Amino acid sequence: MKTLLRLLPLLVALPVSAAERLAVRVLDGGGLGSTEAQLVLGAGAELARELTALTVSPVSGLSRKCGDEACLRAMLSEVKAEQGLFLTVTPARKGTVDVEATWVDGAGGAAVRRRVPGASTADLKGALRPGVAALVPGFVRKGWGGLVVEADAARLRVDGRAQTSSGPVVPVTAGPHEVDLLLPSGEAALSREWVPEGARLRLTPPGQTAGGVMGTAARGKGLRVASYVTFSVGAVALAGSLVAGGLSRNAIKGVEPCMDAGRMCSRFPEAQAAYDKSDRYARTGNVLLGAGGGLSAVGVGLFVFDLVSSDD
């Protein structure tokens, strides 16, 4: 039977070292000129840089209208970007355009849309800001990243707080975090992870991968070997302290005190040298006794920890 809670020292994590890429593209809703298209593209790219931590890549040129989600994903795949902001623009009355902003996550999930009717071409960025800001996923905002848990029905705690999310990505602030992943089996995976800004960190419990199982077994074996070695060194030190104690007593053997005039006694220089030698042995024995006791205790502690951390 497995213990109810196993503290797994490492959590297999597949980090994304750099921010994800966002492609910004303008689509023709009907009768859009190249000048207006360029204005909308510039405003959309500037907004994306202000609102997100992503690497923004404006896609130049005017593309045909593409209202179907599969079509948008195909366009996103063409430019090899993880995220896409598509702006479908239709000219309205003079000096204004109607814009439909669509955000597509290449990793999956439904596309989300916002309509911005009557956006003034004189202040496109200001007109588009509320709609685009509402589309931006939480984990791509400046100062934020995301955690993706690749385990069914797993519960996630970050820095001691339970995390819930309506989507597959749990937004957290970028930087170091204590991550606690509680699995349906009752096991827990604990680790300290660095969440990159504007990117997703994928978490996989070691038990779900062969490499993780092998790594855990290797760590358990290494811990047990360390306990054996530490205890053995401590035992040798304790034995050395006993030897040093015996040598200390033997060093003053034969030294006779001068109790009366009719008895032979040791001369002072000889007695002093013998007692100095005995004192050195005694100090060495005390050091070995303390070190040996400490190392033996550490060895026993490591062995017990390895024992309770492994399967019963």
In this structure, are 71 and 127 located in the same domain? yes
Cβ distance 265 to 259 under 8 Å?
yes
pTM greater than 0.75: no
Q: Tell me the average confidence (pLDDT) per consecutive run of 10 residues in the chain, 312 residues long.
A: 37 55 92 90 95 94 82 92 94 90 89 93 93 94 89 77 80 91 78 89 66 45 75 86 83 69 66 78 86 85 71 47
Residue 66 is assigned to a structural domain of this protein: yes
Q: Residues near 83 by Cβ (< 8 Å), separated by ≥ 6?
A: 20, 21, 22, 23, 54, 76, 103, 104, 105, 106, 137, 140
d(CA 186, CA 3): 9
Tally of domains within the chain: 3
**Alpha-carbon torsion (171, 173, 176, 182), positive or negative:** negative
Residues 6+ apart with CB under 8 A from 112: 102, 103, 135
Give pLDDT, residue 126. Answer: 94
DSSP-derived pairing of the beta strands 83-91 and 21-28: parallel
- What's the domain range around 11? 7-15+142-208
Q: What's the Cα-to-Cα distance from 232 to each of 72, 105, 286, 294, 304, rounded to whole Å?
A: 66, 57, 18, 12, 15
Q: Of 193, 208, 223, which one is at a domain's C-terminal end? A: 208
Instruction: Determine which helix (DSSP H) or strand (DSSP E) holds 97, and give its type and residue range.
Output: strand 96-105
Q: Given this model, what pLDDT does residue 218 score?
A: 46
Question: How many residues in the chain?
Answer: 312
- Residue 268: per-residue pLDDT: 67
pLDDT of residue 50: 95
146 and 134 within one domain? no
Name every residue whose Cβ is closer than 8 Å to that of residue 88 and which is 6 or more positions away in sequence: 27, 28, 29, 65, 66, 67, 99, 100, 102
Do 124 and 153 share a domain, yes or no?
no
Q: Report the CATH number that the domain containing residue 42 is assigned in CATH.
A: 3.40.50.11240
- Non-local (6+) Cβ contacts of 211 within 8 A are 12
pLDDT recorded at residue 192: 87
Query: Counting runs of H as helices and runs of E as strands, what totals does the chain give?
Result: 5, 14
